[in-house]
Structure 1
C-alpha cells in the first residue's frame, strides 16, 4: 500500500495534490493550520488531518515526538512525503524585513521540511520504497531583489535533496522540484507586493493578466505522475516544466 504525507494540504497546490492522491486511492495524512473539507466521493474517508502550525518549531517537534506519523505509515509498503507548505513573506530588501516573519519563513520553508524528512525516513525503514518531494521554486536558482528569505530557504531545499541523495539510504529517493508559476493565493500576494519592495511585481502581474499561470490541479497531476514514476529521484533537483512525465 502507498501512503502519502502532504504539508499545507488545505489550500492551493496542497489541496490539489491531496485531491490527486486521493483520486488514485492513496491515503493522505495532511498537515496544515486548517482542515480541508472534501465530499465523500472525493475519498474523504482516506484523508487524515492534523491541525498544525508548521512555522512553530516547538509545535512540530512536539507532534513528531508523538506516534501519529509512525501509526500512519505502519502498514505502508511505499511511503511519500510532499513538503509543499511555504510562504513568500517577508518581501523587501535586507534591513527592512520583519524579524518575526523572517523566523516564521525560515521555519516553514526550510526547518519544517528538514524536520519532517528526518522523521519520515526514520519511521519508514520497513517500507520497500520511500520518496520525498520538496516543492521548490525557480527562486532557489535565480536571485530576486526583495525575495532574499524566500530564495535562501528554497535553495536550502535543493541542497538538502542533493546531500540526502548522497547519503545513500536504502529505498529512499528524493528530489526538490520547481513547479512553475501557479495561480494560488501566494501569487495573489506577490501581485499585491509594493514594487519598491519587489521590483519584478509587474512581471508577475502580467503573467496573471496574460493567462500564463498554471492551475493547481494541472500542476498537481504532473507532480504526482512524476513522483510515482520510474525517473523520480534520478536527479535531485529540477523544474517540473522541463521533466518528462512518468
Structure 2
C-alpha cells in the first residue's frame, strides 16, 4: 500500500452488498481501504489499484482471523494515517428457525462471524497508532427488538450494541465507537429472509411487503448516509444509533 491518504478504512465483507457500496464510496472519497472478505471484489481493484488492498480470510473462523492479526499486515496498512475507520459489516442472518432446529455448527459459525471477529478487529484497531480511531459495528433493529426464528441473529447483534456501550465507558478520547443499525437494505440477506419458510420465520410476509412496496433502501444510499455520519463530529456521541434517526436529525 503506497497511498498517502491521511484516512485509512478497514471494511469487512467488502465484496458485495452494503460492504461493497461502503468500500466503493470510501475509495471514491480518496480513502485507502483494506477489504477483508472470503473473496475479492470483482472490479474495485482494477478501478482503484493505488487505494485498495484486499485480504482473503475466512471471517467466520476466529482462529484464522487471530492468525492474520498476529502478522504485521494491519499495522502496516494504517501506518502514517491520521484517522483509522473500522466498519464491521460482515454478518449472517442464518440459522433461521426455532431453537430446537439450530445445529451447533451453524450457531458457532454465526456467533464467530457476527460477534467474535468484529470484537477482535475492534480491539486491534483500538491499539493502532493514530490520533483518531473510529469503529462502526453494523447492527440491526433485531438487536433491539426480538423476532421469532431469529434468536441467534438477535442475540449476536445485541452483543455488538452492548460492546459499544461498554467500550464507551473506557473513556478513550482517541477512540469513537457506535453500533449502528442501517435500516432495511435490498441485499442478499433480504433475499435469504424472504426465501425462508414461514415455519422458520413467521414474520416473513412483512419483509416480502417491504420488497413489494419498494420500501427497501439501496446499499448505495445507505452507504452514503453511514459514511457521512461516521466522518462527522457527532459520531460516537451515542454508542448505539439508527441511521434513519441520525439522517432525520441531520436535516
Instruction: Please state which band the TM-score falls in when normalised by the shorter chain.
Output: over 0.9
Question: Does 1:37 find its partner at 2:42?
Answer: yes
Select 2:101's aligned residue among 85, 96, 100. 96
- The answer for the alignment partner of 2:83 in structure 1 is 78
Distance 2:44 2:176 in 1: 32
Rate the CA distance shift 1:38–1:45 in 2: closer, same or farther, 3 A: farther
- The answer for the alignment partner of 1:14 in structure 2 is 19
Q: Within 5 Å, which residues of 2 pair with 1:98-117? A: 98-117=103-122
Rate the CA distance shift 1:40–1:88 in 2: closer, same or farther, 3 A: closer
- The answer for the alignment partner of 1:238 in structure 2 is 241
- The answer for the alignment partner of 1:223 in structure 2 is 226
Contact 2:44 2:52 in 1 (8 A): no
Q: Deviations over 1:134-155 (max 9, x none)?
A: 0000000000000000000000
Rate the CA distance shift 1:168–1:45 in 2: closer, same or farther, 3 A: same
Q: Which runs of 5+ in 2 are unaligned?
A: 1-5
Aligned residue pairs total 244
Distance 1:165 1:22 in 2: 28
Distance 2:20 2:79 in 1: 24
SS in 2 for 1:95: helix
Q: Deviations over 1:183-230 (max 9, x none)?
A: 000000000010101000011011001111000000000000000001
Distance 2:22 2:85 in 1: 12
1:40 Cα offset (Å): 6.8
SS in 1 for 2:234: coil
Structure 1 residues 133-142 or 94-103, which shifts more? 94-103
Find runs of 4+ consecutive structure 1 residues off by over 2 angstroms: 37-45
TM-score normalised per structure 1: 0.97
Q: CA RMSD in A?
A: 1.3
Distance 1:91 1:97 in 2: 8
Select 1:193's aligned residue among 191, 196, 201. 196
Contact 2:36 2:57 in 1 (8 A): yes
SS in 2 for 1:106: helix
Contact 2:84 2:130 in 1 (8 A): yes
Distance 1:230 1:77 in 2: 15
Contact 1:131 1:172 in 2 (8 A): yes
Q: Which runs of 5+ in 1 are unaligned?
A: none
